[in-house]
Amino acid sequence: MTTDVTATGVGTIRSGFLGGGFMAQVHSRAARAAGASTAVLASSSLERAFTAAQDLGIDRAASDIAELLAEDVDIVHVCTPNATHAALALAVIEAGVHVICEKPLATTVADAQRLADAAEDRGVVAAVPFVYRYHPMVREARARVAAGEIGELITVDCGYLQDWMLLPGDDDWRVTSADGGPSRAFADIGSHLCDLLEFVAGERIVRLTARTRRVYEERGNRPVTNEDAVSILVEMSSGAIGTLLVSQMAAGRKNALTLELHGAQASIRFDQERPEELWVGQREGSQHLFRDPQTAHPGVARFSVVPAGHAQGYQDAFNGFVADAYAAIRGETPDGLPTFADGVRAAQLTEAVLLAAREERWVDTAPTG
The answer to whether 174 and 188 are in contact (CB under 8 A) is: yes
Residue 228 found at the interface with ligand SOE (CB under 6 A): no
Query: Does 200 participate in binding ligand SOE (rule CB under 6 A)?
Result: no
Q: Tell me the residue nearest to ligand SOE as measured from the CB.
A: 188
Q: Which stretch binds ligand SOE (CB under 6 A): 50-58, 188-196, 329-337, 347-355?
A: 188-196
The reply on whether position 188 binds ligand SOE by CB under 6 A is yes
CA angle 264–200–227, rounded 5-degree value = 110
Other CB atoms within a 10 A radius of the CB of residue 18 amount to: 30
Minimum CB–partner distance for residue 300 and ligand SOE (Å): 22
Q: What is the CA radius of gyration of the chain?
A: 21
Strand 14-18, strand 75-78: pairing: parallel
Contact flag: residue 189 with ligand SOE (CB under 6 A): yes
The binder of ligand SOE chosen from 216, 255, 299, 301 (CB under 6 A)? 255
Alpha carbons within 13 angstroms on the beta-carbon side of residue 110 total 0
Task: Give burial (CB, 10 Å; 0-12/13-18/19+) of 145.
Answer: buried
Q: Which of residues 145-174 bind ligand SOE (CB under 6 A)?
A: 162
CB of 73 to ligand SOE, least distance (A): 23
Nearer to ligand SOE by C-beta: 189 or 266? 189
- Is the distance from CB of 34 to CB of 125 less than 8 angstroms? no
Query: What's the closest the beta carbon of residue 162 comes to ligand SOE, in angstroms?
Result: 6
> Is residue 63 at the binding interface for ligand SOE, with CB under 6 A as the rule?
no
Give the footprint of ligand SOE on residues 300-359 (CB under 6 A).
Answer: none
C-beta closer to ligand SOE: residue 97 or 194: 194
Least distance to ligand SOE, CB of residue 284, Å: 36
Taking the complex as a whole, how short is the minimal distance between the CB of residue 272 and ligand SOE, in angstroms? 9
N-term to C-term CA, the chain:
54
Closest CB to ligand SOE among 129 and 263?
129
Q: Which residues, other chains included, contact 38 with Cβ-Cβ below 8 Å and sequence gap of 6+?
A: 15, 17, 28, 31, 32, 56, 57, 58, 59
Number of residues that bind ligand SOE (CB under 6 A): 5
Contact 365, 207 (CB under 8 A): yes
Residues near ligand SOE (CB under 6 A) are 162, 188-189, 192, 255
